[in-house]
Amino acid sequence: APVRAPSRPSVQISAALRARAAAKLRFLRPIPRVNGWSRPLHIYQFASWADFLILAVTTFGIFIPFLHVDWQLSAYVVIGGLFLFHLVTNLIAATIDPAEANVRYKKNYLDLLPTFDRSKHEHVIQNQYCHLCEVTVSETAKHCSACNKCVTDFDHHCKWLNNCIGSRNYWFFFSSVTSASVGLVCVLAVQLYFFIRFLIDSHGLLKDAGLLVFQDSKMWPLFLPYFPVLVNTGVILFILVASVVLVIGNIIMIGHLLVFHLYLMSKRLSTFEYITQKRKKQQPKRKGGKKGSSLRMEEGAAQQ
């Protein structure tokens, strides 16, 4: 054993390097992604988790305890219920594999896909056969270039969930967007109540919340009632302004998404059909167009 020992590290290093090179190659060549948890993860996923966490901590830990004592319990139950419902539907939408049944039940589902050769086939899907997944697919399936697989009733590829949205997870996606919109409006109402009373009548605010014992012109308590932390008035004002800005930004983005999907439902369209129709209207006579973009479109690159 002492004689062999020196050669071991180099063997280990080269094995590690080989593994890393193989992993890199796997990333470069298309392998179907199962759901939102398949690698590569998307930076937007981390952003949305951070956003959710910041809103939960500030809402339940900082602002709700300052509501009138009679409103606190209902606020915890209603807003807490909305946050929980959003979290659960969001996780389900990210976890469901939206792929076509024929793709999911394929024996070699997670193997490398063949490279698409335009000289052999004009379209990725022809006569309901996908040349990349190598299975028969349904009429409304699209091959998603981010997920590398065919998705049933393809709607769009969601970067926030890092997963495709198709008929298998559409209602979870829609419920998560709806609960987020309603929850955000409630959070904004709580924040604005605090903001206005904090500025014009902080004594009354503390009195109504049953927190007069904390009255001090320079310090303000956070994380009541169990983990009180006293901070400067400037700090609470900064947290308040920052979280109001965050919530308004969220409401604009998610509210817009909700209105857009309500509009699509009223027109009985998917996001993909909407984008395809819009593009057709925009360039009615330009035949062929850019090959790259038409291929991406065909593969269902509608992303949000």
Site residues for Zn ion per CB under 5 A:
130, 132-133, 143-144, 146-147, 150, 157, 164
Quote the CA–CA distance of 246 and 57 in Å, as a whole number.
13
Q: Is-catalytic flag, 158?
A: yes
Pull the structure tokens for residue 147: 């997920």
Nearer to Zn ion, 134 or 216 (CB): 134
Q: Looking at beta carbons only, is 123 or 207 nearer to Zn ion?
A: 123
114: which residues sit within 8 A by CB, 6+ positions away?
131, 132, 134
Closest contact distance (angstroms) between CB of 134 and Zn ion is: 8
Catalytic residue from among 130, 144, 147, 158: 158
Q: Which residues lie below 8 Å from residue 183, measured CB to CB, with a gap of 6+?
A: 79, 82, 83, 86
Taking the complex as a whole, how short is the minimal distance between the CB of residue 144 and Zn ion, in angstroms?
3
User: In angstroms, what is the minimal distance from the CB of 130 to Zn ion?
Assistant: 3
Does residue 262 sit in helix, strand or coil?
helix
Q: Which residue lies nearer to Zn ion by CB, 72 or 303?
A: 303
DSSP assignment, residue 37? Answer: T
Give every CB contact of residue 261 below 8 A, 6+ residues apart in sequence: 174, 177, 271
Shortest Å, Cβ 141 to Zn ion: 7
- Give the residue among 289, 38, 28, 251 at the shortest CA–CA distance from 157: 38
Catalytic residues: 158
